[in-house]
Structure 1
Amino acid sequence: MKPNIQSKLSIHLLFWILYYILEVYLDFYWSRYQFPEFRWQLRLQNSLFLELGYFMVKIPLAYSLLYVYEKLNINKLLKYILCIIIFIIAVLAHRFFTHYIIYPHIYGVIETLDGKQPSGFINGLVAFNSFMDLIFMVGLIFGIEITRQKNLLKDQISKLKSEKLDQELTMLKAQINPHFLFNTLNNIYGMALKKADETPDVILQLSKIMRYNIYEAAEKSISVEKDIENIKDFIQIQKIRHRHLTVNFHENIDHPTQEISPLILIQFVENAFKHGVSESLGNTFISIDIKLKNGILEYCIENSKEERPNGNSTKIGLKNIRRQLELIYPGHMLIVEDKSDRYIVKLTIDFNDPFSI
């Protein structure tokens, strides 16, 4: 059985059980004044049996109206007319059961209007009483069903949004890995041309990084400790190529196993190398400061760059990063300062934020 159908059956079954208990209680309480000569055991027995009888009218009425309202594909006016006809038939059935079965066979008396005057099968007051009894039940069952459907729709929309976000994040990450691999292979190619002794070490470092990108980055989240280790491996590769580079790396982590989305932090380091160090002449520097305290991550990267009044290369890749942060950590704070001689990025992520993925 499908979960949705099972959930619907469970909710409706619970509704009818609670509704039956309520109706038995109300009838038992009413019969206390209407038939004071009856013992409470007899009154309770009568209430239990007569409400079961009423269910033979109420349950078909409820699901006939729900079927017409939800499933029947006809003109709205015809729906309204059909619902009215069904309701009139139900009122007549309700009156028949009350007048010809309940009073003479359960209570053993003739139905009366005021305790003295006999009531006919149909008149204004008794018909109104039957109408109110049925309309109360219909209102409850429709309220339950509409609420259930709204919650189901909300869950489906939430699931679709989640799937869409996962697909978008996967696509964004796929844009990162080839870009990173291309840049690193270019570095190794340059070293190989120079027959540098460090080439095997760099290949080994690349192997570790690619293992991270293929396996670790496929996960929804990893530990901050692993993410920082990947950044350090990346820096080691770049330092071998950039001989005049000064790298200052500071970390202060109070919770190394804190989960974080992979490939977020390293993108800022990649940008610092590609659009800062690689495009600068002479001595260059990169300063990385990462601090995690009480579930709040503060991440700052500062790198040197050449003064290029009309340059905009530093903006490349930021759009991708910003979009990922919006999807995963909507409460983040990202500050980008593009100065004449340096580029500064400050990122703050609150892992305690309930809206983070």
Structure 2
Amino acid sequence: MKSSKRSKLQIHLAFWILYYILEVYLDFYWSRFQFPDFKWQLRLQNSLALELVYFLVKIPLAYSLLFVYEKVHLKRVFKYILCSIIVFAAVLVHRFYTHYLIYPHIYGIMETLDGRQPSGYMNGLVAFNSFMDLIFMTGLIFGIEITRQKNILKEQISQLKSEKLDQELSMLKAQINPHFLFNTLNNIYGMALKKADETPDVILQLSKVMRYNIYEAAEKNISLAKDIENIKDFIQIQKIRHHNLTVQFHENIDNPSQEISPLILIQFVENAFKHGVSESLGNTYINIDIQLKDQILFYSIENSKEGKAHQDSTKIGLRNIRRQLELLYPEHILTVEDKSDKYIVKLTINFHDTFNS
């Protein structure tokens, strides 16, 4: 709020300084035709002085009109009436300054229409000139202020969209399979009863996965190397449950520090285990291929399956993943092939075209 007020003050101050310089220049330019006998030093001095005098009416006029304009609860007809009264009063004051102060005390002469005929206080032509001078200034200040308010509104909308996106992503991440932890703990419990030698290693891997999900995944982006390491830990834990499983993992990464949103890639692996391997009775396989070349990610997962169970059981999970990809990487390419005996997912992300690069 303070930053917004400070910005408004700076913008308006800059406007009045530039406007003053413009008006002084215009008056100084035209005074050489209106007062050809005056030296340029005197004409410049007069221009500087008279524009300061006009500011006594222009600044109150500008902010009075802005005040009425910003009264959102005031009916439009009342706004028009108030603005008309304010402008009319400003024209009267402007004419008073011009006729009784500027000409006799700054120029040292009486105001005239054509250099010979005396001008009245509210002559139609000079009154119109005063009106146009004030309206020109009013249009400028309104343009500045409306533009400033629109920019603030755009920033607020952008911030709200960003906050909404972050909240939605947090909710989507929270929907990641919660059964993984319970299943793994049950497996560790069974291994502990059998006093299996692999128990400490499994506990360590589970600890790494949970640390990643709790702490690392809270970050907006993470290195691709860390994300792949988490996938490998996840696979090692899952192998405990699936003894007839063959996993082939191929990676070719030219930039391990490339940043990516966490928990995107692993969801496809989770689906492969949960809805492919877990629902198969015989020998099963999962083939994972991940490549990164020139900031373009190619990711594919192929897993065996039986029947059509996979098609119905992955709808929610796949919808979750698609939504995250739409929010984070709008230009991604995701293809899903559901065949009778296998399920193939292919994902391409061009990090050149995303804000995550």
CA deviation profile, 1:52-89 (whole Å, cap 9, x unmatched): 00000000000000001103743221111111011000
Matches within 5 A, 1:252-263: 252-263=252-263
* Deviation of 1:192 (Å): 4.5
Residues 113-128 of structure 1: pairs in structure 2 closer than 5 A? 113-128=113-128
Instruction: Kindly indicate whether the alpha-carbon contact (under 8 Å) linking 1:267 and 1:321 is maintained by their aligned counterparts in 2.
Output: yes
Deviation string 1:223-243 (CA, Å, 9 cap, x unpaired) is 000000001111111223322
Partner of 2:338: 338
CA distance 1:346–1:186, shift in 2 (3 Å):
farther
Q: Would the aligned equivalents of 2:46 and 2:106 in 1 still touch at CA under 8 Å?
A: yes
Q: Secondary structure at the match of 1:232?
A: helix
Q: Deviations over 1:195-224 (max 9, x none)?
A: 543222211110111111111011111000
Hey, what does 1:52 align to over in structure 2?
Answer: 52
> How far apart, in 2, do the equivalents of 1:51 and 1:247 lie?
82
Size of the aligned set, in residue pairs, is: 357
Matched residue, 2:222: 222
Contact 2:245 2:284 in 1 (8 A): yes
Q: Secondary structure at the match of 1:96?
A: helix
Q: What percent of counterpart residues are identical?
A: 80
The CA deviation at 1:6 is 0.7
Structure 2 gap segments, 5+ residues each: none
| 3-state SS, counterpart of residue 312 of structure 1 | helix
What residue number does 1:38 align with?
38
Which residue in 1 is equivalent to 2:247? 247
Q: Equivalents in 1 of 2:229, 2:309: separation in Å?
A: 35
- Find the counterpart in structure 1 of residue 8 from structure 2: 8
50-59 or 281-290: bigger deviation:
281-290
Superposed CA RMSD: 1.7
The Cα offsets for residues 296-352 of structure 1, whole Å up to 9 and x where unpaired, read as 111100000012379512334111111111111111111111110000001111111
AA aligned to 2:352 is N
Distance 1:185 1:263 in 2: 21
* Other-structure match for 1:164: 164
Give the SS at the match of 1:74: coil
TM-score by length of 1: 0.96
Name the counterpart of 1:132. 132
Q: Distance in 2 between matches of 1:279 and 1:153?
A: 52
Q: Calculate the TM-score normalised by the size of structure 2.
A: 0.96
Contact (CA 8 Å) 1:276, 1:305: kept in 2 or not?
A: yes
Contact 2:329–2:354, Cα closer than 8 Å, also in 1? no
Give the match for residue 107 of structure 2: 107
Of stretches 316-325 and 133-142 in structure 1, the one that deviates more from structure 2 is 316-325
Does the residue aligned with 1:301 lie in a helix, a strand or coil?
strand
**Aligned residue in 2 for 1:197:** 197
Give the secondary-structure state (helix, strand or coil) at the position aligned to 1:317.
helix
Distance 1:8-1:281 versus aligned 2 partners, 3 A rule = same
Alignment of 1:150-161 (within 5 A): 150-161=150-161
Please name the residue that 1:87 is paired with.
87
Taking structure 1 as reference, are residues 172 and 262 closer, same or farther at Cα in structure 2, changes over 3 Å only? Answer: same
The residue number in structure 2 matching 1:20 is 20
CA contact (8 A) 2:187 2:240 kept: no
Partner letter of residue 162 of structure 1?
S
